[in-house]
Structures are given as structure tokens and as C-alpha cells.
Amino acid sequence: MKSRTPILYRISIFASLILFLAVTYLIIVHRLSVAGPYMIAALALLATGIRGFKSFKSLSYTIWIFAAVALSMYYPQFFQKAGNFELKKMIVPLLQVIMFGMGSQMSVKDFTGVIKMPKGVLIGITAHYIIMPGVGFTIANLFNFPPEIAAGILLIGCAPSGLASNVMSYIARANLALAVTIAAISTLLSPLLTPLLMKLLAGQYIEVNVWKMMLEIINMIILPVVAGFVFNLFYHRTEKRSNYIKQIAVFLLIIVMKNSILLKTGETSMAHIALAFLKDIGWFVVLPALGAFLLSLMTKGNTLWIEKILSFVSMLGIVVIITIITAAGRDSLLKVGGLLLLATLIHNLSGYGLGYFFARLSRMPERDCRTIAFEVGMQNGGLASGLAMQMGKIATVGLAPAIFGPLMNITGSTLANWWRNRTKDIEDPDSQSKQIQN
């Protein structure tokens, strides 16, 4: 079986090339509607085939995303409704599951980088929340997009760092500990900074309710991450009792802050807030703790299968989110798709370049410069998509985030592999992998 597997990969690659030629011919003869099935099949075969080649294996997931996007562009009706249920309502719950998975793989130790590397963290966070919003604002004005499309560009620019940036830092032999810390801190700051930046920069394009957006970000990413932390805390049970008390107190404080913001919106009563507070404690503290404790007893502390399941669900969730957004915004994409793709590419590449040179000007080491480049250029497209959904503008504001996600994975993996092969005197990534485990 082992000897036959490489042949199957090569056959898949060869078949995909034939289908791409067929697609090219159909486009030349203006038969775009017929080209759809061939394009979808070609991408699926290519995504399967390149898994047999170590140098390109990491691109397989991104190509699967493009296959899903092509499918939703040609057959959007299948990704808009299931009976009377609107599929776009799945976006926020899927994002919460993804963020729970992120939190379950983290602990308080991931924030110690603030103490160990304060300069790098400060430079990374500052660059992230200045460069990407600033570049987004410039692009939105230069390209003269419709207001809601322009707001989507700004939304992805104002989002926190993307989860994939940590993977790219690892591949590029960058500073993985710094990457994890910057991503975590930028995520924690997003309920404050993202709404304020959107109000300042995107207020001319769409109405931005700062308090409501703060609340939505906390509900979509902060509380699920808290639930993940709680799960991790009670699954491993390696902390001292005093540490349990301190961490649970912090988590409860976050829930109190969230419900204080809910009160600030003026859209609810004190009785409703009290009920919401109890529900938050149940969903995001008690349930994860109980689930972790029971699973720990059943699995005897073996986390490998849980990590695999959460990783698969997260990857599948991202594909589903992008597919639903593409189907919802198909008509707008057909009008501005090419120009929006160009604008998104400029936005992404500017993040890498300006982030890297900002770190260079700050006299950071090469590894830290690479890290900050990825932390600036790669955004949390899932959060931006969820916010667009909550605004009721997934088909317009949600388009730029939907394009940015797959695109940054291609550019990020390309840059990471180029950097990896270019510098030989940077720390072996195998030693960095221990930083994740610790």
C-alpha cells in the first residue's frame, strides 16, 4: 500500500492539471457556466495530490478552501438555506467553537512573554493596531469601493492577530513564544480597540455601535477562550489550589465586565442581566470545568485525541464559514471580486512588509522581526466575519474577511518557507516546538 500511495498522489496532480487546461479552454470560449464543475474537481484533486509532496503539503488545506469557495460561487443556493434555516446563523457558533479550541490549548504561561519580552510584545501590538487599520483606511479610500465593501476592508484591518500566524512563525524559524504572546494579547485587547478603531475609521461608511460591538467580540471570542482556559485548567489539574482560585476569579471578573457592558447598551433590564450573568457562568465556567473533569477521568489525561478533534473541527469550521459568506455575497463578489482581491492582497503584503521594517527600525533581532511581520499581516478573519454577520451585512462587509483568510494562508506559508530556507543560523524549530508544549 505504501508503494502505491505516491502514485495515487501523482495521478491526482496529473488529473488536476488536465482539468485546469479544460477550465482554461472553457474560459477562452466564454463558457464560464460549464467550467464550474471542472474547476471544483481540479482544485479538489490538486488539494489531495499535493499532500504527497512534503514541500507543498501545508498548502493542501488552503486549496480545499478555494475548492469550497468555487463550489459556493457556482452553486450558492446550497449554502444559503437548509429548509427554512438560514445557514449564515451558523457563523457565530462555529467561531465560538474555534475560539474554544484555541483557549483549550493555552494557559497562563502563554502570557509570561509580556514579562520576559516586554519590548517585543509592545512593538508587536503597537504595529498590529496601527499598520493594518492605517493601510486598510488608505486602501478603502483609494479604491473607491461601495461603502459597505470599504467597511469590510477596515474591519479585517482592525481585527486582532490571526491564529495561523503562530504556525507561520514556527515554519519561518521565528520567535514562537513571542508570536503566541502577541496573538493572545491582541485578542484580549480586541473588545476595546477593534470597536474604537472601527468607529474612528469606518464610521463614514457604516453605523458603528461601539458598546454593542464590544459585547459581540466578548461573546464571540473572549468568553469561548475563557471556556477553553477553564477546560485546560481542570483537565490537567496540575495547578496549585491558590492558582485555581486566582484564575477562576479573573474569569468571573471578565464575565462581570461583559454584563456591565450589556447594561451600558441600555437594551435590557437588571433582571435580564442577572440571568445572563448566571448563564455565562454556567456555559463558560461550570460546563467546561465539569466536562474537563469527566473527560480527564475517562481518558486518564491523554489529550492527543482531543487535540486532533478540536483541530479538525476548527479547520472544518473555517471552511464552512468562508463557504457560507461566499455564497451570501456572490453577487457583490462578481461585481468587485477582482479589484477586492487585489486590494486584499495589497493589504496583506503591506502588513508583512511594514511589520517587518517597523521591527527592524526598533532594532529587534531577525527572529523577532519575522514574528512581528506575521503578527501584523495575518488577521482573525473569523472574528471579522462574525461581526459582519451580527451587523446583518455578511454579503457586503463580510466579503473582505472571506477573501483575506485564504489569501493570507497562501502568502504566509510562501513567506514562511522562503525565510526558513534563507537563514540557517536561526534556532532549530524542533526546539521551538517545546515552547508550545510548555
71 and 126 in a single domain? The answer is no
DSSP code string of 64-92 = HHHHHHHHHHH-GGGGTEETTEEGGGGHH
pLDDT (tens digit per residue) in 299-340:
776 777 777 887 888 888 888 998 999 898 888 888 888 999
Q: How many whole angstroms separate alpha carbon 346 and alpha carbon 135?
A: 9
Q: How many domains does the chain have?
A: 2
pLDDT tens string 264-286: 887 678 888 999 999 999 999 99
In this structure, are 95 and 20 located in the same domain? Answer: no
Q: Are 58 and 89 in contact (CB under 8 A)?
A: no
Q: Specify whether 295 is located in the same domain as 226.
A: yes
Specify whether 60 is located in the same domain as 200: no
Residues 94 and 70 occupy one common structural domain: no
Same domain, 54 and 115: no
CB within 8 Å of 217: residues ≥ 6 apart: 190, 191, 194, 195, 383, 387
How much is the pLDDT for 3? 46
Q: Is pLDDT at 55 greater than 80 in this prediction? A: no
Q: End-to-end distance of the chain based on CA atoms, in angstroms? A: 37
Same structural domain, 209 and 310? yes
Note whether 41 and 162 are same-domain residues.
Answer: no
- CATH assignment of the domain containing 248: 1.20.1530.20
Query: pLDDT (tens digit, 9 = 90+) per residue, 356-397?
Result: 999 999 999 999 999 999 999 999 999 999 999 999 999 999
**Whole-prediction pTM:** 0.88
Whether residue 282 is found in the same domain as residue 402: yes
344 with 406, same domain: the answer is yes
- Domain-terminating residue out of 79, 95, 129: 79
Query: 32, 60, 79: which is the final residue of a domain?
Result: 79
Range of the domain at 283: 84-437
**Shared-domain flag, residues 299 and 413:** yes
Residues 95 and 313: their CA atoms lie apart, in Å, by 10
- Of 55, 79, 103, which residue sits at a domain end? 79
Are residues 328 and 375 both part of a single domain? yes
